[in-house]
Amino acid sequence: MYIVPPPKCSDARGSGNMAAPRIYQTWKGSNVFFLQGRFIFGPDYRSLLLTIFLIAAPVIVFCVFVARKLMDDFSHHLGISIMVIVVAYTVYVLSLLLLTSGRDPGIIPRNAHPPEPEGFDGSIEVGGGQTPQLRLPRMKDVVVNGISVKIKYCDTCMLYRPPRCSHCSICNNCVERFDHHCPWVGQCIGKRNYRFFFMFVFSTTLLCIYVFAFCCLYIKRIMDFENTSVWKALIKTPASIVLIIYTFISVWFVGGLTVFHLYLISTNQTTYENFRYRYDRRANPYNLGVVNNFKEIFFSEMTPSKNKFRARVPEEEGSTGLGLGQARVGPAGFVSPNMGRATVGGDLEMGAKASWRDMGGNMADFEGRLSSEPQEEKDGAEGLEGRGVMHPRRSSWGRKSGSWEISPEVLGMPGESERNSSSATQGTR
């Protein structure tokens, strides 16, 4: 098991001779990895052990106290088949459970920088000594099957979510075709594992019916062989009573969930969309008809994962990690509006509005320190105050390199900063 350690302020690589870490080792989500990134689970992966117990324990009781007795009552091959079928089918159900909870549900990789506004060419001239403010819209309109659909910007992942994508607050990832986060499997249910999730729920329903039916059959055979009442037959097999009650209750849960998801598949909805009543008053742009909807879920090609968890972290990403409170700066100088603010649960969407200010230069290598050029110091130094909060200064939008100076209060070296400032001013004169 590998749990991503908390981020460090210093460079994680150390010397240049060290190999770059793998992506799963620097993963920013809340996921837990097993077998060196081959399996990815949610942070509540321990609930998966409870689910396995709730499936395997009744089957073991059934095999020991019911199926073993039925093997003697039926012919040799028929009696053994009762035991073989239930064991093989249970292994199949647990395999579907692992495929649901241990694979990438459709996580969209995060952007390293906020996106640039549409149509921005980096050549806007600014006058009056004021820095321009560019605000990216929180919502955008895209057309899906001829119907306009709104997509939302995610402050955490710094991207516009594709249609039907949502940010899971538990796993802290944006997931394609997000359905819900299932605590029973300890994983988000999305585009890449919804098929296996439905098959798991449906197969568990059939397993409950199978155990329930053969427990009832065993009680009936006791009544016939001993010519007794049903109550006396129940006393002779208390394990059957427990299994009948357990499977009867369970089948209402997993059976009802199966019926509900059959409805969702037939109308091409997700649980998230259905609970928010998105299509009560307008057409569903994703509904392709009942037959095509089922084909899309069960017979369409499985899209490959967009994340290569075992790959090495690229050099440019691994060497410029941002610490807590540092700015998120794009290649064109657009900075996340939540810079310097405390986040709630790692997701910056709660009540925050996005705006990116042009900082006057290319800051791709920004690491909390901003270099200064002597010829731009005639307006005085504008510093960094607080924790990574930047204040606008006079700048030229069209310049290729930034001109910024850190205030002496931040550096803690007032004497040296004043000497450098005076010498730079005399050089410009």
- The rounded mean pLDDT for the chain is 75
- Comparing 380 with 338, the larger pLDDT belongs to 338
Does residue 96 belong to any structural domain of this protein? yes
Same domain, residue pair 165 and 42: no
Higher pLDDT, 332 or 371: 332
**Among residues of the chain, what percentage have pLDDT more than 70?**
65
d(CA 138, CA 119): 17
How many domains in the chain?
2
Q: How far apart are CA 136 and CA 381, in angstroms?
A: 28
Q: What's the CA gap between 321 and 21, in Å, rounded?
A: 13
CB 91 within 8 A of CB 49: no
Are 417 and 156 in contact by the 8 Å Cβ rule? The answer is: no
pLDDT band at 198 (very low <50, low <70, confident <90, very high): very high
Q: Is residue 395 part of a domain?
A: no
Last residue of a domain, which of 298, 326, 355? 298
Q: Long-range contacts for 401-404 (Cβ within 8 Å, ≥24 apart)?
A: 401/361, 401/362, 401/373, 402/333, 402/359, 402/360, 402/361, 402/362, 402/363, 402/370, 402/371, 403/360, 403/361, 403/372, 403/373, 403/375, 403/376, 404/359, 404/360, 404/361, 404/370, 404/371, 404/372
CA 165 – CA 107 distance, rounded (Å): 9
pTM: 0.70
Residue 314, in any domain of the structure? no
Percent residues over pLDDT 90 in the chain: 44
Residues 138 and 191 in one domain: no
pLDDT > 80? residue 156: yes
Check residue 224 and give its pLDDT.
86
| Top mean-pLDDT range of 176-185, 216-225, 350-359 | 176-185
Cα separation of the two ends of the chain: 63
Q: Does 143 lie in the same domain as 196?
A: no
Q: What is the mean pLDDT of residues 409-428?
A: 44
Same domain, yes or no: 89 and 216: yes
- Structural contact between residues 312 and 3, judged by C-beta atoms closer than 8 angstroms: no
Own/partner pairs, 347-355, CB within 8 angstroms, 24+ separation? 347/155, 347/156, 347/167, 347/169, 347/172, 348/155, 348/156, 349/154, 349/155, 349/156, 349/167, 352/155, 353/135, 353/138, 354/114, 354/135, 354/136, 354/138, 354/153, 354/155, 355/133, 355/134, 355/135, 355/136
Measured from the Cβ of residue 247, the count of other Cβ atoms closer than 10 Å reads: 22
Same domain, yes or no: 231 and 103: yes
In a domain, 22, yes or no: yes
Q: When comparing pLDDT for 380 and 115, which is higher? A: 115
Same-domain status, 75 and 88 = yes
* Mean predicted confidence (pLDDT) in 217-222: 91
pLDDT for res 119: 57
Query: What's the Cα-to-Cα distance from 369 to each of 30, 82, 117, 171, rounded to whole Å?
Result: 29, 70, 25, 32
- CA torsion through residues 275, 280, 285, 287, sign: positive
Same domain, 191 and 223: yes
Residues 157 and 267 both lie in one domain: no
* Angle in degrees, CA 79, 80, 84, rounded to 5: 130
Same domain, 40 and 143: no
Note whether residue 363 is domain-resident. Answer: no
User: Residue 409 — pLDDT band, cuts 50, 70, 90?
Assistant: very low
Cα 317 to Cα 6, 365, 420, distances in angstroms: 17, 10, 33
Higher-confidence position of 306 and 352: 306
Higher pLDDT, 48 or 384: 48
CA distance 86 to 89: 5
Structure tokens of 318?
């691994």
Name the residues annotated as catalytic: 182
Instruction: Compute the average pLDDT of residues 345-349.
Output: 38
Domain boundary at 119, 148, 178, which?
178
Q: Is residue 124 part of a domain?
A: no
Q: Is residue 323 part of a domain?
A: no
Residues 190 and 252 in one domain: yes
The rounded radius of gyration (Å) of the Cα atoms in the chain is: 30
Listed range (86-100, 163-177, 182-196, 328-342) with the worst mean pLDDT: 328-342
Residue 383 and residue 410 in contact, taking contact as beta carbons nearer than 8 Å: yes
The confidence score (pLDDT) of residue 170 equals 94
Asked if residue 304 belongs to a domain, the reply is no
Residues 100 and 46 in one domain: yes
Per-residue pLDDT tens over the stretch 117-148: 665 555 555 555 555 556 678 888 899 988 88
Predicted confidence (pLDDT) at residue 210 exceeds the cutoff of 60? yes
Examine the fold and report which residue of 145, 178, 211 is the final residue of a domain before the chain moves on.
178
- Examine the domain organization and report whether 157 and 44 are in the same domain: no
Model pLDDT, residue 380: 37
Q: Which residues contact 286 (CB under 8 A, 6 or more apart)?
A: 144, 145, 164, 268, 269
Instruction: Supply the range of the domain harboring residue 278.
Output: 2-108+183-298
Token readout for 294 is: 């089922």
pLDDT tier, 276 (very low <50, low <70, confident <90, very high otherwise): confident
